[in-house]
Chains A and B, each alone.
Chain A
């Protein structure tokens, strides 16, 4: 059984990027939205120090949420327009499609994060202790996690209306419990447990650590591995929900 064919995976990536290239408005929104939101936050605080405390976590949360919603809608559209069924009659492995999507949106995420970081570091006065590259890498990883969860979630939506509702259902609890609003170890025990099984928590922990220290220790590596493993698991589970035969 063919698990994946790199030529077909990359052809899928190219097709998705072509679709985005024709849709200027979506592309523009995806690339500048996190920066606009960060700028807004900066002037809400009206204080660079306060902004520097919250911004790194939001560098993870904004791309994560945006990628989740864009991916779940796009893949749902593939299901409802019957192009998915057509692809399922062709020699395309399920993972070709999912990795094709992940790579395409991963590339968009790189652009999105670079723009958001340049804006934050130059104009908004974000100050971090650790490596800028590592911060950027983690933010891209979080966007990929959003993409992978979006691909997975779209399997459970029948209409675009439902898919939009998954954004509050899948994304908001993770944002509330990830440590952005209250430190995770100070939350009620049950909430702490819940936040322990949410991948975004580990992403925010990693980002917070990079902001405050230059050290790359075991905890950081463990947190990043957890995020990457969750993204991969969501992709594989997403593939498992695709069916070649339907009623």
Chain B
């Protein structure tokens, strides 16, 4: 007879590794053999986690179909026993798992679709913050604009895709036929954030991506304008920078701004 600790370890090994040692501790019931009864727990573990992954990665599921998704889920569950209290965290390693594990790694769009789904789920219940408003920006004195720095909304994050995973996601989300997976000529930047209670994403061009990366690092608006001018030409550079800023503000991607008062260090 095992003590409680040893019994729980055997029980857990019985579920995770198929080890039958725990069966010596269990009684047959009047109607059923112990192996079948313990099998309820074995089955429930895999079925519950498979359901969690199917809920969290429903677009990936739709893309690969039931058969491949079942294989992918089985491999992931075996590789990553759950180590968090909340089941919503269980699938957090799936994008990295798909990037690193054959045969999924040879289809790079799979990891990218998964990373987009994870990013949207993360944005959905990330911390709240009042978004920066155009009204607040309008109160900034013209002479202070060059020293203005921005705070991204806490839900905002950036991804970079090498494939057309974002287009595949959009088609499947709209329940239409997805385009054939393909590598993009240039990496595609994607911004993910939550507007009010809805998690959103949008692909952005290289210039906007550069400006976003600098802005979230605390680079002043005056310097951002110079960088935009360097990136794609001085003509209308300030207008381009202001347009990006207005888009970010209109869609709730920024949480605040302040006028930097320390000596100009660029950032």
Partners in one complex: no
Q: Which B residues have a C-beta under 8 Å from some C-beta of A?
A: none
Q: CB within 8 Å of B: which residues of A? A: none
